[in-house]
Structure 1
Amino acid sequence: MSSFPVSALDRVAKLYWRKNALRRSRRAALGSFRHWDREGESALVEALNTSFDGKDVAIVGNAPNTLGRGFGPHIDAHDLVVRLNLVIPTDHASDLGQRTDFRFVGCTLLDRHRPQIEKLENTSTIITTEKNVDFYDTMNKPVTVYDRRLPQHVMRWLKPLCPEVLSGNNAGPPPRSGVVFLALLLAMAKPVNVVLYGFSQTLDDATTALHYDKGDIITYEPDDYKRNHCDPSLEIRILLALQQRGLIGIN
Structure 2
Amino acid sequence: MVVLRLKKQRYMAALLSSTTILLLLYLQNSLLIFTYGSFGFVSVLRSPCACSICVADRENSNWFSERYNPNVPILLTSTNSLLNANVSSWWEGLQYSPDSGNYTEVVNQLFPLFPDKEHYSDASPDRCRTCAVVGNSGNILGSHYGPLIDLHDFVLRINKGLTEGYEKDVGSKTTHRIVYPESAMDLDSSTHLMLLPFKVLDIQWLISAFTTKNITHTYMEVPSTIKANKDKVMIVHPEFIKYVYDNWAEGHARYPSTGFLTLIIALHICDEVNVFGFGATSDKIWNHYFEEILTSYENGMHDGKFENETINRLQQENKILIHKGWA
Task: Give the aligned residue type for 1:156.
Answer: D
Decide whether the 8 Å contact of 2:72 with 2:240 is kept in 1. no
CA distance in 1, matches of 2:246, 2:66: 13
Out of 125-134 and 141-150, give the one that drifted further.
141-150
Decide whether the 8 Å contact of 2:139 with 2:282 is kept in 1. no
User: SS of the residue aligned with 1:196?
Assistant: strand
Out of 173-182 and 135-144, give the one that drifted further.
135-144
Decide whether the 8 Å contact of 2:140 with 2:169 is kept in 1. yes
Task: Give the aligned residue type for 1:195.
Answer: N
CA distance in 2, matches of 1:31, 1:82: 15
Task: Give the aligned residue type for 1:238.
Answer: T
Say which structure, 1 or 2, has more relative contact order (CA 8 Å, 6+ apart): 1
Task: Give the aligned residue type for 2:133.
Answer: I
Distance 1:170 1:148, change over 3 A: closer
CA distance in 2, matches of 1:246, 1:150: 23
Q: Out of 195, 212, 215, which is 2:274 matched to?
A: 195
User: What's the CA shift string for 1:211-244, capped at 9, x where partnerless?
Assistant: xxxx22321356xx52222x21111100110000
Q: CA deviation at 1:134?
A: 3.5
Counterpart in the other structure of 1:219? 294
Decide whether the 8 Å contact of 2:274 with 2:322 is kept in 1. yes
User: SS of the residue aligned with 2:69?
Assistant: helix
Out of 233-242 and 79-88, give the one that drifted further.
79-88
CA distance in 1, matches of 2:152, 2:304: 27
Normalising by structure 2, what TM-score? 0.54
Counterpart in the other structure of 1:235? 307
Task: Give the aligned residue type for 1:177.
Answer: T
User: What's the CA shift string for 1:142-178, capped at 9, x where partnerless?
Assistant: 22112456434303333xxxxxxx7xx5342222112
Q: CA deviation at 1:72?
A: 0.5
Q: Percent identity?
A: 20
Q: Out of 58, 65, 82, which is 2:139 matched to?
A: 65
Q: CA deviation at 1:108?
A: 3.6
Q: CA deviation at 1:136?
A: 3.3
Decide whether the 8 Å contact of 1:69 with 1:95 is kept in 2. yes
Normalising by structure 1, what TM-score? 0.69
Counterpart in the other structure of 1:181? 262
Decide whether the 8 Å contact of 2:131 with 2:155 is kept in 1. yes
Which structure has the highest strand share of the two?
1
Task: Give the aligned residue type for 2:247.
Answer: W
Decide whether the 8 Å contact of 2:254 with 2:300 is kept in 1. yes
Which structure has the larger Rg? 2
CA distance in 1, matches of 2:313, 2:255: 18
State yes or no: 1:29 paired with 2:72.
Answer: yes
Counterpart in the other structure of 1:91? 165
Counterpart in the other structure of 1:153? 243
Give the total of aligned pairs.
Answer: 215
Structure 2 residue runs of 5 or longer lacking an equivalent are 1-31, 34-52, 85-106, 214-224
User: What's the CA shift string for 1:5-48, capped at 9, x where partnerless?
Assistant: xxx99x9xx9623499458622573599866277989x799323
Task: Give the aligned residue type for 2:255.
Answer: P
User: What's the CA shift string for 1:46-97, capped at 9, x where partnerless?
Assistant: 3233599630110111111100111001101112211111222111100000
Task: Give the aligned residue type for 2:153.
Answer: D
What is the root-mean-square deviation in Å for CA atoms of aligned residues?
3.9
Structure 1 residue runs of 5 or longer lacking an equivalent are 1-7, 159-165
Task: Give the aligned residue type for 2:261.
Answer: V
Distance 1:16 1:216, change over 3 A: same
Which structure has the highest helix share of the two?
1
CA distance in 1, matches of 2:161, 2:189: 14
User: SS of the residue aligned with 2:144?
Assistant: coil
State yes or no: 1:17 paired with 2:57.
Answer: no
